[in-house]
Copies of this chain bind each other. A is one copy, B any other.
Amino acid sequence: MYTCSEERMGDKIKTFSTFGDAGHGGITRYSLSPEALQARAEFVKRMEAIGAEIKTDDMACVYATLKGSEPDLPGIVMGSHCDSVKNGGNYDGILGVMGAMEVLETIAAEKIPHKHNITAMIWTNEEGSLYPPSMMASGVLCYDYLPEDIRYKFVHEDMLNSKSILDPTQTFGAALEASGYKGPEANRLNPKDYKAMFELHIEQGPILEAENNDVGVVTCVLGMICYRIKTYGQADHAGTTPMKYRHDALYASAKILQYLHDELDKLDPELVYTTGEIALHPNVHTVIPDYVDFSIDARHEDPKVIEQVVKIIENMPKEIVGCKVEYEPAWTRDTVYFNEELVGYVKESVEELGYSHQRINSGAGHDAQFCAYMMPTTMIFVPSKDGHSHCEPEFTSVQQCTQGASVLLNAVLKCDAK
């Protein structure tokens, strides 16, 4: 049983937090931006310093490999991303990269014997904050293995043409060429040359903290559905239309939202559902709204629960307060279960290390979720303070980050031993 170094981990967190430092506690580090290239350079510098071999693929994913004693065996990879959302935090994504670095540094420092090549990897453009969509490189690398209804979003050519949301004259493809990190397609992660992928990540939710657990043994990424709900009324003048003649699409939407809460709350308590987006027309304070469109996103491990959610949406009133109600499925994804053997390695490692832990699922999407379609994959979670993520207050202590890296190290070594 080995443990990683808190001192080294703390130094990495401090250093990487400067790349894209927004000056108020968090970072903005879009994929392939100058700030992200600084982070990549630091990764390469530190990995070369311990004798790792650096390769990149055609999506600019970076691989730093410590050769094993039987280098022809398929390798073990640990990866996450180094890009962030706008005004994001210092842990989402980059922790999985720093954890992978820490594992290799510990192996190098303590000369830990291993048969398989062990690789720390940066997945390019997980957030998709500058060049949509999110999980871009994992979508492209795993394309052949993804279900039809997901893969259509990740056609390689389309990804190269993805336009910057800040400057539509810039494309991801151009940023890729200019980055200095574009390598051959043959270097891509694949199930012939690699036997397993591990991703260490912050939980991005409040459960581990609330349950006072150090580590989450992740078993799956939740299945989800996303619908758009639309209410149609009549735009009229706010001052001249008596209440009895109104068809107020916003009031109709508020009623429907309450209906959804009432009905969905009767289902399993582990169901999560969210209306995060709303559009109102004409959105003028003196005009009764004639059209409202809002999102409803619902996630649960069990497809039976998701089916019940769909039934509730389908059974919504067709008309309410004089307004027509419609719905439209936007997209769905099935629950993705992680590899049981790898999940077992993680669990055994946590137990041996004596950290408190629990099984947990991931409500958020990760590169590991696409990778799981292609090869044995799993994830490890560490707590997020107050459950915050994708925002500057995002925080996980150095101790917690190091515990996560130690679990990663031991799980990888268990995988190596097989």
A155 sits at the interface (CB 8 A) = no
What's the minimum C-beta distance from A120 to chain B, rounded to whole angstroms? 25
Contacts of A153 in B (CB 8 A): none
Whether A276 touches B284, Cβ cut-off 8 Å, given contacts A205-B236, A236-B388, A240-B362, is: yes
A318 sits at the interface (CB 8 A) = no
Assess the B387–A239 pair: CB atoms within 8 A: no
Number of copies: 2
Assess the A277–B280 pair: CB atoms within 8 A: yes
Which of A108-116, A143-151, A162-170, A249-257 makes up part of the contact surface?
A249-257
Assess the A364–B243 pair: CB atoms within 8 A: no
Chain B proximity mask over A255-283: 1 for CB below 8 Å, otherwise 0: 10110010001000111111111101011
A295 sits at the interface (CB 8 A) = yes
What's the minimum C-beta distance from A139 to chain B, rounded to whole angstroms? 17
Chain B proximity mask over A274-315: 1 for CB below 8 Å, otherwise 0: 111110101111111100000101010000000000000000
A183 sits at the interface (CB 8 A) = no
Assess the A205–B272 pair: CB atoms within 8 A: no
Whether A363 touches B284, Cβ cut-off 8 Å, given contacts A206-B245, A250-B278, is: no
Q: Which residue of chain B has the shortest Cβ distance to A134 in the bound complex?
A: B286
Chain A interface size, as a band, is 35 or more
Q: Which residue of chain B has the shortest Cβ distance to A250 in the bound complex?
A: B275
Q: Of B206, B238, B276, B285, which is within 8 A of A287 by CB? A: B276
Report how far A267 CA is from B285 CA in the complex, Å. 21
Assess the B261–A251 pair: CB atoms within 8 A: yes
Report how far A362 CA is from B250 CA in the complex, Å. 24
Main secondary structure on A side of the interface with B? loop
Report how far A206 CA is from B239 CA in the complex, Å. 11
Contacts of A365 in B (CB 8 A): 239
Contacts of A222 in B (CB 8 A): 239
Q: Which residue of chain B has the shortest Cβ distance to A365 in the bound complex?
A: B239
Chain B proximity mask over A129-154: 1 for CB below 8 Å, otherwise 0: 00000000000000000000000000
Contacts of A286 in B (CB 8 A): 274, 276, 297
Assess the A288–B276 pair: CB atoms within 8 A: yes
Contacts of A257 in B (CB 8 A): 250-251, 254
Assess the A389–B237 pair: CB atoms within 8 A: yes
Whether A278 touches B283, Cβ cut-off 8 Å, given contacts A205-B237, A362-B240, is: yes
A64 sits at the interface (CB 8 A) = no
Closest 9 CB pairs of A and B: A239-B363, A205-B240, A238-B274, A285-B295, A240-B363, A277-B285, A254-B254, A204-B240, A276-B285
12 new A-B pairs (CB below 8 Å) besides A236-B387, A287-B390? A203-B240, A204-B237, A205-B242, A207-B240, A236-B389, A237-B390, A239-B365, A242-B269, A248-B275, A255-B258, A276-B286, A277-B283
